[in-house]
């Protein structure tokens, strides 16, 4: 990563960079930080990485009152993740990024999902459908499971199993909600995952509706997702 950042900095010096701080972060950051961040954004853009996610990250950091060094580190890290995501997605990263697929992939890499697992998810989706939204939903689900302390490999493989069975985005939303509810009710993350995976895979294999009752058979409260 250090080599990539040095490379980008050299590109920034060579290029005629436009020093136009984005309105979203002007005034919240010091002049030095704004210059450094603008150089990073310009360098990344020159390297084919979209600027919008970077500008959003800067604005997010400024809003949260993060230390400027952390904002710079977060943007550097995001540049690296977006570059990695572009390599993993290949041509799909440009075709479909209106749906946030590039950001979802970068997010999964940041959360610790191995590139090989992401590649298998991409391969599963490519062979089955052209709409990228199930793949986006799958990546969002993996990151959410990791946030709930499910190991990255287990999260990735479970979601791959659901994607292989053509789970829809609504089913992935329900899956996330069911696991969250089970953990809140006291289940450990690994038990919650195992229990719900059994139910969802059986239902998807049988092409029938999914029993979303909590373990023990109590009905979900009305209005639950």
Residues 153-192 that bind another protein (CB under 8 A): 153-154, 169-170, 173, 176-177, 180, 183-186, 188-190
The residue range among 13-21, 86-94, 102-110, 200-208 that interacts with another protein, by the rule CB under 8 A, is 102-110
- Number of other CB atoms surrounding residue 65 within 10 Å: 7
Nearest C-alpha neighbor of 47 from the set 82, 92, 95, 1: 82
The residue within the footprint of another protein, chosen from 147, 166, 211, 213 (CB under 8 A), is: 147
- Kindly tell me which of 16 and 130 has the beta carbon lying closer to another protein: 130
| Site track for another protein across 12-51, x = CB under 8 A | ----------xxx---------------------------
Which of 12, 140, 193, 197 is in the footprint of another protein by CB under 8 A? 140
107 binds another protein (CB under 8 A): yes
Closer by beta carbon to another protein, 41 or else 143: 143
- Stretches 12-20, 33-41, 60-68, 118-126: which one binds another protein (CB under 8 A)? 60-68
Cβ distance to another protein smaller for residue 12 or 140: 140
Residues 191-220 that bind another protein (CB under 8 A): none
Minimum Å gap between C-beta 85 and another protein is: 12
Cβ-based neighbour number of residue 18 at 10 Å: 7
């Amino acid at each position: 990563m250090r080599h990539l950042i040095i490379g980008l900095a050299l590109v920034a010096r060579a290029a005629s960079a436009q020093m136009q701080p984005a309105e979203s972060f002007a005034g919240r950051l010091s002049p030095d930080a704004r210059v450094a961040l603008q150089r990073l954004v310009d360098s990344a853009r020159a390297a084919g990485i979209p600027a919008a996610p970077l500008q959003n990250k800067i604005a997010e950091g400024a809003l949260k009152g993060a230390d400027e060094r952390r904002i710079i580190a977060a943007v550097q890290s995001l540049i690296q993740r977006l570059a990695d995501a572009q390599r993993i997605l290949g041509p799909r990263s440009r075709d479909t990024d209106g749906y946030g697929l590039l950001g979802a992939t970068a997010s999964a890499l940041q959360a610790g999902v191995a590139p090989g697992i992401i590649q298998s998810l991409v391969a599963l989706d490519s062979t089955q459908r052209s709409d990228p939204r199930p793949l986006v939903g799958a990546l969002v689900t993996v990151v959410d499971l990791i946030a709930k302390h499910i190991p990255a490999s287990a999260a990735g493989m479970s979601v791959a199993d659901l994607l292989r069975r053509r789970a829809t985005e609504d089913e992935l939303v329900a899956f996330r909600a069911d696991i969250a509810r089970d953990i809140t009710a006291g289940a450990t993350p690994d038990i919650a995952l195992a229990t719900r995976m059994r139910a969802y895979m059986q239902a998807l294999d049988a092409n029938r509706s999914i029993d979303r009752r909590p373990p023990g058979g109590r009905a979900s409260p009305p209005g639950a997702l």
